[in-house]
Copies of this chain bind each other. A is one copy, B any other.
Amino acid sequence: MAGTDGGKERLRIGLIGCGFMGRAHSNAYNRVANFFDLPCVPHLTAVCSRNAERTRAFASTWGYESIETDWRAMVARDDIDAIDICVPNKFHCEIATSAAAAGKMVLCEKPLAMSAAEGEQMCQAVETAGVANMVWYNYRRVPAVTLAKQLIQEGKLGKIFHYRANFLQDWTIAEDLPQGGTALWRLDAAEAGSGVTGDLLAHCIDTALWLNGPMQDVTAMTETFVKQRVHQATGEVAPVNIDDACAFLCRFENGSLGVFESTRYARGHKALYTLEINGEHASLRWNLHDLHRLELFSHDDEGRLRGWRSIHVTDHDGSQPYMDKWWVPGLQIGYEHTFVHQVADFLEGLVTGQPAAPTFRDALATQRVCDAVLDSAASGRWTSLSQPSR
């Protein structure tokens, strides 16, 4: 880091990618200092994407000082401290390893990589270079989810019996939706690595590993409901090579059972990530469509009065994670704030030396589960996670 901004150190950001995630991250960099009082602030030094005009417009909207159209040029600049990767998954590994080699910190969108093998390579690169690194599994920083983590860590749930999570969408049901290209690369395995497994289940798995510890083994099934779609790149009908839906069962090392499902064919659900965890003393439930609420059932409550409690996680007194930074009780925050929190924690980690999670290494564990899930779906067998799967 170099230079100062209002007496604070600057973390000079080089963002690669101007899509949906580029916006979400840029917004977070811009907002964090308004709400979090940190010794270090992000500085929007450069943004990079292939189309110069589009990149310039993006830079103007979000306040980036300069643009690049070649990510290698960006990585080579010495006025940048951290590279933020917001491009399709197939570029993650090459950019991240190059950036690490150039001594840059690396922040990478999820999933970490196209495969665990790539992910391992990325981990080694950042660890060898000794650079700070983080993966944007942003849902850990929903205040309600962070609160869930605190309750579990405090032992409030006791022994865990069950974990279940779904991530349900419905935006690919129409058969005339094309695949591929800038907007729809998530439908092309060559760009994305997989379909819902890397896109949606990866979130569920990241949270699960964080809240409930490692998994032992999995059995999975996948399905591609629409078998062919026009490809944006060629204009021709091509086979669809991603998983439209994926479900798996697992056993966690703590003895609990897991059931996971994700799909883009669940009519009526826009982005319904739900999770529930059942423990001996209490259970917790959360969903992304009402992300400001945490549901809690406590067996410690008086018997006749036990029930699921809906906690509106908007208190301002410091008792609920992150919420003292925002508004007054009852006034909810939204999706974008999770990224602000993650930036804040990353910056704080730079100062304290306690790296913000999930690091690349943490995200590799998720990648390993994704790989095992896809392996199991292909083989029809339970796949073990006790040894690194590759």
In this complex, what residue of B is CB-closest to A6? Answer: B60
Interface residue tally of chain A, by bracket? 35 or more
CB-contacts of A280-320 with B (<8 A)? 280-283, 288-299, 301, 303-312, 314-315, 317, 319-320
Asked whether, in the complex, the Cβ of A330 is within 8 Å of the Cβ of B245, the reply is: no
Contact of A223 with B by CB under 8 A: yes
Write out the residue numbers on chain B whose beta carbons fall within 8 Å of the beta carbon of A283. 266-269
- Within the complex, the shortest CB–CB distance from A220 to chain B, in Å, comes to 8
- Within the complex, the shortest CB–CB distance from A222 to chain B, in Å, comes to 9
Q: Contacts A33-B61, A317-B303; is A328 near B20 (CB within 8 Å)? A: yes
Q: Out of B170, B245, B311, name the residue touching A305 (CB < 8 Å).
A: B311
Write out the residue numbers on chain B whose beta carbons fall within 8 Å of the beta carbon of A173. 161, 280
In this complex, what residue of B is CB-closest to A158? Answer: B267
> Hey, what's the 0/1 contact readout for A7-41 against B, CB within 8 Å counting as 1?
00000000000001000101100110110000000
How many copies are assembled?
A: 4
Q: Out of B169, B299, B310, name the residue touching A267 (CB < 8 Å).
A: B299
Asked whether, in the complex, the Cβ of B164 is within 8 Å of the Cβ of A261, the reply is: yes
Q: What CA separation (Å) do A335 and B270 show in the bound complex?
A: 21
In this complex, what residue of B is CB-closest to A26? Answer: B34
Q: Out of B223, B293, B312, B317, name the residue touching A257 (CB < 8 Å).
A: B223
Asked whether, in the complex, the Cβ of B267 is within 8 Å of the Cβ of A282, the reply is: yes
Asked whether, in the complex, the Cβ of B290 is within 8 Å of the Cβ of A266, the reply is: no
Query: Given A26-B34, A27-B34, A298-B305, 10 other A-B contacts at CB below 8 A?
Result: A20-B327, A164-B261, A219-B219, A221-B257, A267-B280, A268-B306, A269-B330, A272-B330, A290-B332, A306-B309
